[in-house]
A and B are shown apart, each in its own frame.
Chain A
Amino acid sequence: MSRWVRLAARNLRRHARRTLLTGSIVVVGFVAVTMTAGFVSQTFTSLGAATIRGTGGHLRLLDPKAAGKTDDEASAIFLDDWEGLSALLGKDPRVAQAMPKLSFFGLVVKGDKSGAYLGTGTIPALERGASLASDTVVSGSFFSNPDAEDVMLGSGLARAIGAKTGDLVTVMTTTPDGGLNAVDASVVAVLSYPIKEIDDRLLFLPYSSAARLLKAEGRANTVVVLLKDGVDLDAAARDVASELAAAGRPVVVKTWLETAAFYKQVKLLYVAIFFFMGLVLSTVVILATANTMTMSVFERTREIGTLLAIGMERGQIRTLFLLEGFLLGVVGSAVGAAASFVLRLILNASGIMLPPPPGGTRGTILHVDFIPLAYGLGFAIMSLTLLVAAWWPARRAARLNPVEALGHV
């Protein structure tokens, strides 16, 4: 085989300029695929981090009765003794923190203006460290006193009721047993949440106020668990569920991925864009290479005629041209891999700041991930693409009539 590889390599070198041009298309294609994959991977990581910060943790613990219920239905189902649950979770070394969340909705009133809200009752100190809400404060300061009658409002909601920091508002809701309840609270912060629909309804109360409002002291709709870095999400979810069940506290454990519809949609969109881009790139590479190979067959018609005359099989002629295409793909991919690796290092060292990912609040420094799979796939795709591109010219070469080919001028 080596003799045919040698011959294919020399034929490529014979038309160095043309080979260089086609090869550079392969290199650019390879770099584009691997860099995009690295960038998309980083975007997924950022988006995932933003999604985790959006809910305040990696795992959501629910009462088994809340499994399969709608959000409205689940808001009336509580886990008892969240502190006991939190103490049990604290024994798992993978758990960074566990915080209770109360979900409620109703009207918030200031003077003669009112607005519908979707509220969350949470522990201020835990929420500040884990959730992206602390990044979105536009006026005032993130609440800190767990026992104060404080409230934080989304900027859309604050604008709707004409509230600003320092104002007193009344938060009204329906308790799980159907009664009407309200608390007066002082606006300590206005938050600008990146998703407008949420910003227009966003309200935070300290857990103690929310529990009093809902008459649900010691209870929580969910307990959100933040895991330490590098922990295997699925294994942790499985273990937490079994540990709590063994301790007599059965719960339903949902990972952030199971509930992150927005994350999944964005990921699907990015994958679709990536696939489409790959398709366009492959088409460009196929057309460029097919053109090069067709030119090569045309110019070497007499040579092909000679090879056929001295007894070379048509299959061997075809293989020779396919080998040239494949070799161009392999060498182009190898150069592309090196170029991609170097470009990645340069970009990662450049410190370019990127805007926040969809739904995120924090911009990130550009970092193109190294995805070995993308390099492997890029290598395979480019080599196969070149094989496909070489197929038709190779077939044409193999089907030449030796007498006509020998007489070709």
Chain B
Amino acid sequence: MSILEARGLTKIYRLGEERVVGVSDASLTLQAGEFAVLAGPSGSGKTTLLNLLGLLDLPDSGVLVFEGKDVSALDERGRSRLRREKLGFVFQAHQLVPVLSAEENVALALWIRGLPEEACAARARAALAAVGLAGLEDRRPDALSGGQRQRVAVARALVGEPVLILADEPTASLDSETAKHLLDLFVELHRAHGVAFLFSSHDPRIVERAERRIRLLDGRVVADERASVGALA
């Protein structure tokens, strides 16, 4: 079942008089439970396309369909609601709120839905346990290692039970050992929860382990490859 379909997405930035093509006429369809990566060199438009697919940015042209509904014309509140209820985000830097504990950072994704305090806390603790951080719930980000912070960010993306998690260069600021563990965690969560993942990355380890590789160059989708069975192993 398709959860996300992009048709002819184009995004052009204006830097003074200059027009810079971010994404040009990008079309793709993402199925439920896929483990895909937007791959390509720096400046190829990976992050821009990921932002468009995550409704963080608006395309200049093109159509975006989410779970069968055209969401291209959604207003600000509608886009916020969809991000809140259907999507999860993991950024390159962990982007945790420094004054909140690990548990509160995860619960934050539920607070904004207006869920009761206890329910938020319980689900946040479960999400932290799922990413291997049980016992560290009360720690603030500055008392966690880089890998642990990124795991908290993953738990925050996961706690709302999204259908799709968008991860922008999630391993870029981690050492190779930590990055490997994080990637293992993504695979494990993907298998356990059946949630779809879409990465933007040029990290070969992610590209190699992804089931599907959507390659971009100069803002255009130039290849859409499905990996052979067992890529996730």
- Cβ–Cβ contact B99 & A314, under 8 A: no
Contact of A310 with B108 at beta-carbon distance under 8 Å, contacts A403-B51, A403-B56 already known: yes
Contacts of B156 in A (CB 8 A): 310
Would you give the shortest CB distance from A371 to chain B, in whole angstroms?
38
Contacts of B82 in A (CB 8 A): 311
- Cβ–Cβ contact A310 & B117, under 8 A: no
Which of B77, B89, B93, B99 is within 8 Å of A310, CB to CB?
B89
Contacts of B56 in A (CB 8 A): 308-309, 402-403, 406
Asked if A125 lies at the interface with its beta carbon under 8 angstroms from chain B, I say no
Q: What mask results when residues 293 to 309 of chain A are scored 1 for a CB within 8 Å of chain B, else 0?
A: 00000000011011111
Asked if B192 lies at the interface with its beta carbon under 8 angstroms from chain A, I say no
- Cβ–Cβ contact A10 & B112, under 8 A: no
Contacts of B83 in A (CB 8 A): 309-311
Contacts of B95 in A (CB 8 A): 302-303, 305-306, 406
Interface residues of A in 52-95 (CB under 8 A from B): none
- Cβ–Cβ contact A309 & B99, under 8 A: no
Q: What mask results when residues 9 to 51 of chain B are scored 1 for a CB within 8 Å of chain A, else 0?
A: 0000000000000000000000000000000000000000001
- Cβ–Cβ contact B99 & A308, under 8 A: no
- Cβ–Cβ contact B54 & A309, under 8 A: yes
Contacts of B51 in A (CB 8 A): 403
Asked if B71 lies at the interface with its beta carbon under 8 angstroms from chain A, I say no
Asked if B111 lies at the interface with its beta carbon under 8 angstroms from chain A, I say yes
Q: What mask results when residues 98 to 123 of chain B are scored 1 for a CB within 8 Å of chain A, else 0?
A: 11100000001101110001000000
- Cβ–Cβ contact B117 & A3, under 8 A: yes
Asked if A349 lies at the interface with its beta carbon under 8 angstroms from chain B, I say no
Contacts of B85 in A (CB 8 A): 311
Asked if A148 lies at the interface with its beta carbon under 8 angstroms from chain B, I say no
- Cβ–Cβ contact B80 & A403, under 8 A: no
Q: How far is the CA of A2 from the CA of B120 in the complex (A)?
A: 14
Would you give the shortest CB distance from A271 to chain B, in whole angstroms?
44
Asked if B81 lies at the interface with its beta carbon under 8 angstroms from chain A, I say yes
Asked if B76 lies at the interface with its beta carbon under 8 angstroms from chain A, I say yes
Nearest CB to that of A312 among chain B residues? Answer: B112
Contacts of A3 in B (CB 8 A): 111, 117
Q: How far is the CA of A13 from the CA of B140 in the complex (A)?
A: 14
Nearest CB to that of B92 among chain A residues? Answer: A406
- Cβ–Cβ contact A7 & B100, under 8 A: yes
Q: How far is the CA of A401 from the CA of B57 in the complex (A)?
A: 8
Would you give the shortest CB distance from A19 to chain B, in whole angstroms?
12
Asked if A11 lies at the interface with its beta carbon under 8 angstroms from chain B, I say yes
- Cβ–Cβ contact B91 & A306, under 8 A: yes
Asked if A14 lies at the interface with its beta carbon under 8 angstroms from chain B, I say yes
Asked if B134 lies at the interface with its beta carbon under 8 angstroms from chain A, I say no
- Cβ–Cβ contact B91 & A308, under 8 A: no
Q: How far is the CA of A205 from the CA of B91 in the complex (A)?
A: 95
Interface residues of A in 1-41 (CB under 8 A from B): 2-4, 7, 10-11, 13-14
- Cβ–Cβ contact A10 & B76, under 8 A: no
Asked if A313 lies at the interface with its beta carbon under 8 angstroms from chain B, I say yes
Nearest CB to that of A8 among chain B residues? Answer: B99
Contacts of A308 in B (CB 8 A): 56, 80
Nearest CB to that of A303 among chain B residues? Answer: B97
Would you give the shortest CB distance from A2 to chain B, in whole angstroms?
8
Contacts of A403 in B (CB 8 A): 51, 56-57
Asked if B190 lies at the interface with its beta carbon under 8 angstroms from chain A, I say no
Q: How far is the CA of A78 from the CA of B154 in the complex (A)?
A: 95
Interface residues of B in 188-227 (CB under 8 A from A): none
Q: How far is the CA of A111 from the CA of B112 in the complex (A)?
A: 96
Q: What mask results when residues 308 to 340 of chain A are scored 1 for a CB within 8 Å of chain B, else 0?
A: 111111101000000000000000000000000
- Cβ–Cβ contact B112 & A311, under 8 A: yes
Would you give the shortest CB distance from B112 to chain A, in whole angstroms?
5
Nearest CB to that of B98 among chain A residues? Answer: A14
Q: How far is the CA of A107 from the CA of B73 in the complex (A)?
A: 95
Q: How far is the CA of A11 from the CA of B109 in the complex (A)?
A: 18
Contacts of A307 in B (CB 8 A): 97, 108, 112
Q: How far is the CA of A11 from the CA of B91 in the complex (A)?
A: 22
Binding site for B on A (CB under 8 A): 2-4, 7, 10-11, 13-14, 302-303, 305-314, 316, 401-403, 406
Nearest 10 CB-CB pairings of A with B: A311-B84, A10-B99, A306-B95, A311-B83, A312-B112, A403-B57, A402-B56, A14-B99, A311-B80, A309-B89
- Could you list some 27 contacts between A and B, CB below 8 A? A3-B111, A3-B117, A4-B111, A7-B97, A14-B98, A306-B91, A306-B95, A307-B97, A307-B108, A307-B112, A309-B54, A309-B89, A310-B83, A310-B88, A310-B108, A310-B109, A310-B156, A311-B82, A311-B85, A311-B87, A312-B84, A313-B80, A313-B112, A314-B80, A402-B56, A403-B51, A406-B95
**16 additional A-B residue pairs with CB within 8 Å, beyond A10-B99, A401-B57:** A3-B111, A7-B99, A7-B100, A306-B97, A309-B54, A309-B83, A310-B88, A311-B81, A311-B83, A311-B84, A311-B87, A312-B80, A313-B77, A402-B57, A403-B56, A406-B95
